[in-house]
Structure 1
């Protein structure tokens, strides 16, 4: 089995075999999760997370922070169409031929649509051929029971509206039975399906901690983490407060469970996994 370290070594060997005039141009794209974003730099990832990851680039201008309407179904022009436009323009305008894509939550589904359907759009092959791999954080690859509860329209919807939005098409799409259908028919990378054309490496958040006396519980916002601890009641014991661990690693390959690499072995809640918490930014930076 090819691990990430082996793939990196293979990449280094291949690079040495290339002409000395042919150097890879590396870029990074950050792809947000559910929501209609117009300023994901500040509102979704926050500037300290983005700027820390940017430091891993030899040319720090080769960073793209995507802004799209991921309240829509993944195959729509507002979702995968918007993402394709921004990735394609980034690749072609900056001559990127070694793109590392970092996604969070539902962003992994939109990215996987592109990877799974290369003939659906003329821009998709360019994106796929110039992507090294996708690092997908807290993916909803098999959906989440929270989407089921929200779509049921009970009082739970109002309780977690701040977390994932209300009855949008994106939330509807992330119901567990709906994602099972997509995985069986339209998407690659899950069990029993063909592999994705590039590596799809999952970072899994395994728990939420909200001890009021513990400073780690405040990273990313204590109130948000407390809400995620409450929503764990609808999830498995292993979850980030929004998505079960089994869903997070349902597609592609496992890169790591949070506590195996984070500073102090801290778990990453769904909110913390898009923030500069417990050296996650350094892990992602060093991977570039």
Structure 2
């Protein structure tokens, strides 16, 4: 439970405040240029299940931005700030839960870390309760290193990373180490983020043709992630090492400690309605 280290009185105070708030949820996609992230990235069954946890189920937004850019780019963080601001104002949101996936966590962390960068950032930060970061690429991925080096990985991983765009360039491990030590908050040795940043970590990829669980989110995508997992640590979701997913903020849970059947979440499955993840996120609202 996220409140396990807080005093009882603080927990009760926050519970009362949250109960009287107008809560909304925002779904923030990962590395891609989206115009219909509801259907092309998250899938409606995932979003519709999670938003059942809201008092007003219409208080949700699915972000559509160009996250093939550097996180601070106007087409990335600027677009995210614009859509979140419109959502907050149009729905009178006073309590915002942000659910990010993969590189979307970096874009949201940029906003949280740099309140003076954009006049819209402070209100977003003030209204945010916390961020639930699914498979966050907080320390980048060795796969981005390989893609940017122009090896055979470029063709093999194009379906996953989008080739040599600025977002992939940014997610090289050495580049993220620099950003984490300078521009971004929440990593070891750096100041804490102003709001909670809670990581859900995928630890493995399973693809047996005889196991129905391997088909959740698409068997072909999961098979590709099992192949790329060979270039990652033993604890990984096929795209990100667990150490990257846990690199900023606080650990909420590793997949098998909470999922139905103790199933691991591949990088693809952590944005889909797999193994009760949607219910966990719904209850968190």
Q: TM-score over 0.5 for the alignment?
A: yes
Match of 1:127 in 2: 124
Alpha-carbon distance, 1:154 to partner: 1.2
TM-score of the superposition, structure 1-length normalised? Answer: 0.95
2:91 maps to 1:94: yes
2:21 maps to 1:4: no
Alpha-carbon distance, 1:77 to partner: 0.2
Q: CA 1:167/1:58 → structure 2, altered by over 3 Å: closer, same or farther?
A: same
CA distance in 1, matches of 2:268, 2:116: 34
Asked if 1 retains the 8 angstrom alpha-carbon contact of 2:128 and 2:195, the reply is yes
Match of 1:29 in 2: 26
Task: State the Cα deviation string for residues 68-98 of structure 1 (Å, max 9, x = none).
Answer: 0000000010000000001111111111111
Alpha-carbon distance, 1:3 to partner: 3.9
Match of 1:277 in 2: 274
CA distance in 2, matches of 1:43, 1:183: 30
2:240 maps to 1:253: no
Q: CA 1:98/1:87 → structure 2, altered by over 3 Å: closer, same or farther?
A: same
CA distance in 2, matches of 1:122, 1:233: 44
1:230 to 210, 216, 227: 227
Q: CA 1:145/1:64 → structure 2, altered by over 3 Å: closer, same or farther?
A: same
Match of 2:43 in 1: 46
Greater Cα offset, 89-98 or 227-236:
89-98
Match of 1:76 in 2: 73
2:100 maps to 1:103: yes
**Please, which runs of 5 or more residues in structure 1 have no aligned partner?**
none
Match of 1:218 in 2: 215
Q: Say which SS state the counterpart of residue 24 (structure 2) adopts.
A: strand
CA distance in 1, matches of 2:209, 2:159: 21
- Aligned pairs, number: 284
2:178 maps to 1:178: no
Asked if 1 retains the 8 angstrom alpha-carbon contact of 2:200 and 2:253, the reply is yes
Match of 1:60 in 2: 57
TM-score of the superposition, structure 2-length normalised? Answer: 0.96
Match of 1:149 in 2: 146
CA distance in 1, matches of 2:91, 2:143: 39
CA RMSD, Structure 1 to Structure 2 (Å): 1.6
CA distance in 1, matches of 2:190, 2:138: 13
Greater Cα offset, 256-265 or 88-97:
88-97
CA distance in 2, matches of 1:246, 1:17: 34
2:197 maps to 1:161: no
Asked if 1 retains the 8 angstrom alpha-carbon contact of 2:101 and 2:135, the reply is yes
Greater Cα offset, 250-259 or 151-160:
151-160
Q: Say which SS state the counterpart of residue 4 (structure 1) adopts.
A: coil
Asked if 1 retains the 8 angstrom alpha-carbon contact of 2:3 and 2:11, the reply is no
Greater Cα offset, 4-13 or 104-113:
4-13
